[in-house]
Amino acid sequence: SYGVTQPPSISVAPGETATMTCAGNNIGAKNVHWYQQKSGRAPVLAIFYDTDRPSGIPERFSGSNSGNTATLTISRVEAGDEAEYYCQVWDSSSGHVIFGGGTNLTVL
Amino acid sequence: QVQLVESGGGVVQPGKSLTISCEASGFKFTTYGMHWVRQAPGGGLEWVALISHDGRNVLYADSVKGRFTISTDNSRNRLYLQMNSLRAEDTAVYYCVRDRGTYQMLYYFGEWGQGTLVRVSS
């Protein structure tokens, strides 16, 4: 069945840009959604349909998706962005929702 | 506002059964598909099951197919997950989650409950 891979962790200094990837076979043909999960809390939708931001998510959050990689980018990173970030797709061939393993963002 | 409140978690022995539920409020329950998503301690998110708004479409993760049953009671605005033949690896926080689509599944997630912990242990 379809799988997506995320790097386990990244570290970024405040004010810098955090780039998190989600790799999958021809993932560019799928819709990718991203969730932010802070410690002890339920996940929150951060980006949907590759590039769209729900209301309440800062403009510093953006997404892209092409080829075999989808990307979540957080510009001007703040301490409050520290969280686990999960990508998610729908695999219609298997009828399964697929999550990546998550990337832990540490703000130095 | 949309609220999803799970209940029914606890400690259960391997091989036994448990049913957890989710009470929905703040929206028209019969117009949205619903999901269960779980998270093992210290682990990532794992989708468990979905049910369409009309109950006609039900799907399960391979890890729970044949053991778990998702259902709704529209008269009580409740979502259920009946879990049979529980295993240690089913230990997780179980989240009740609303699909983002109205009258159709979009297969991604809007509102989440706070989760209920199920621990399978002897």
Instruction: Give the pLDDT confidence of A91-103 residue by residue, as tens digits.
Output: 999 999 999 999 9
pLDDT average, residue stretch A69-90 = 98
pLDDT at B39 over 90: yes
Q: What is the mean pLDDT of chain A?
A: 97
Are A33 and B115 inside 8 Å of each other by CB? no
Report chain B residues touching chain A, CB-CB < 8 A: 35, 37, 44-47, 50, 59, 61-62, 95, 100, 107-110, 112-115
Residue A67 CB-half CA count within 13 A: 4
| Cα–Cα distance measured from residue B72 to residue B51, given in angstroms and rounded to the nearest whole number | 8
| Cα–Cα distance measured from residue A29 to residue A31, given in angstroms and rounded to the nearest whole number | 7
Tell me which DSSP letter residue B67 carries.
T
Residues 6 or more apart whose Cβ sits within 8 Å of residue A41:
none
pLDDT average, residue stretch A7-30 = 98
pLDDT average, residue stretch A72-99 = 97
pLDDT at A56 over 90: yes
Q: Which tens digits make up the pLDDT trace of A37-55?
A: 999 999 999 999 999 999 9
In this prediction, residue B36 carries a pLDDT of 98
| Cα–Cα distance measured from residue B47 to residue B33, given in angstroms and rounded to the nearest whole number | 14
Q: Which of B46, B59, B100 sits opposite A99 (nearest CB)?
A: B46
C-alpha distance from A17 to closest chain B C-alpha (Å): 24
pLDDT at A68 over 90: yes
Closest C-alpha among B79, B112, B24, B5 to residue A45: B112
pLDDT average, residue stretch A17-40 = 98
Q: Which tens digits make up the pLDDT trace of B6-35?
A: 999 999 999 999 999 999 999 999 999 999
Residue A23 binned pLDDT confidence (cut-offs 50, 70, 90): very high
In this prediction, residue A1 carries a pLDDT of 86
pLDDT average, residue stretch B44-66 = 97
pLDDT at A13 over 90: yes
| Residues A105 and A20 sit within 8 Å (Cβ to Cβ) | yes
